Amino acid sequence: MSVLAEAFSHSDNRSFSLLSRLFSSPIVRGTYKDEKPEIQMNFVGSKTEQKRLTHLVNTIARHSPTGRKVLEDAAKAGYSVDFELLADSCGCCNKENKRISLNPCMNDAKLTTTFTHESRHAQQDMRGINAYFCSYDVATELRLRRAKEADAQAVALQTALEIRASTHDGAALREFKKAYPEIVAELPLTTTEKTLENVVADRNRNMTVAFNGWFDQQAMVSAYETGYLKAHLESISGKDETEQLHIFAERPFRGHLDSVQIVERVCQTENGKCYMEADKHALNNPKMCGIAFETKEAADVFFARRERLTGQPRDKSYQELPSRGSLTFTPNYAYFDMPYDVKKAAILNKILSQKSR
């Protein structure tokens, strides 16, 4: 079978499946070795896509002890992996379907850290961290969802650091730094010059720096606050009473976790210890638990309406949270500032726009 036939074989009926395969084909990526994965995971896709996924798995498994453990746990939990065109994301983790999807438009250096990031979400689910939005009160939701993202990025950075130390190839680390400069801003410059043994020994410090740095991304924090919380609170808008009652049932906003409980559950290393041991109250920092006034207003409306229709008392957990002002959101195009990726993004956008007509 030719390499091109191999790249497009075994097509399914998913939208844009052929286009997705194009971005992993020899035309775009070149060829990949025919080798066995170091970690047995269920790969979904063409033969070429599976070779590319094997390459990503083996890069992580052979050169990053932290990344390997995360991928092994995702595999044990039964997660499959595929490529999927994602308009505004590098990857995603679906707990219901137990599937990790990676955006084939991204280069392999970028997908290396994306893979560990999304596998970390699978690992979080395995530890019993509730993946369903609106399961807890607003204050908990705000802290917990941010903490999960910050933690996943901490694992991604540690993986990139370990791969650089092991292989002296800094591509994954450069991609991460370019995309998330705030996350690495406080990382000591000497970190990138250390041996793998020393990078692993410094894991708690590295991941703490990354976790804290995530909250310096004001646009990113606003984006997650909008999508993970404010949008759910505004979901009753324009709905009749029956629909609103259904929404209130689906979004209970019940139960509370404090900063220490969240940090202990989320910020774990492979040995079960907390890498944020020195600052388990971090999520009480105004920078980390501040709420935008638009979100607070949406919460006021949501819970007043719920009280009127159901008699349930209002959630007051968010009333004492510090204000972070207004929501600010600027799309992060960090991964598309290279000419070749700009061209790929333009092609994708054109095809998507034609498809929607």
* Domain ranges, ordered by start, for the chain: 1-128, 132-331
Q: What is the pLDDT of residues 96-116, one digit of tens each?
A: 999 999 999 999 999 999 999
pLDDT value for 329:
58
Nearest C-alpha neighbor of 295 from the set 315, 323, 320, 314: 323
pLDDT at 193 (0 to 100): 83
- Alpha helical stretches, state H, the chain: 3-8, 17-22, 26-29, 47-63, 65-76, 108-126, 138-167, 171-179, 181-184, 196-201, 203-214, 218-225, 231-233, 241-250, 259-266, 286-289, 293-310, 339-355
pLDDT value of position 222: 95
Q: What is the pLDDT of residue 175?
A: 96
Residue 253 and residue 99: Cα distance in Å, rounded?
26
Token pair 């309406």 is at which residue? 305
Question: Which pLDDT belongs to residue 345?
Answer: 40
Kindly report, residue by residue over 48-69, the tens digit of the pLDDT. Answer: 999 999 999 999 999 999 999 9
pLDDT of residue 330: 46
Show Cβ contacts of residue 215 under 8 Å, excluding neighbours closer than 6 positions. Answer: 146, 150, 221, 285, 287, 288
User: What pLDDT score does 31 carry?
Assistant: 76
Q: Residue with structure tokens 């590098």?
A: 90
Average pLDDT, rounded, for the chain: 87
pLDDT digits (tens, 9 = 90+) for 137-182: 999 999 999 999 999 999 999 999 999 999 999 999 999 999 999 9
Query: What is the pLDDT at residue 15?
Result: 44
pLDDT at 289: 97
Instruction: For residue 249, give every residue at least 6 positions away whose Cβ sits within 8 Å of its Cβ, in sequence order, or none.
Output: none
What pLDDT is attached to residue 2? 37
Return the pLDDT at 337.
30
DSSP 44: E
- Residue spans of the chain under pLDDT 70: 1-19, 21-30, 329-357
- The pLDDT of residue 189: 79
- The arrangement of secondary structure in 1-128, i.e. its CATH architecture, is 2-Layer Sandwich (3.30)
Residue 287, CA atoms < 13 Å, CB-side half-sphere: 11
Structure tokens at 60: 């992580």
Reported pTM: 0.86
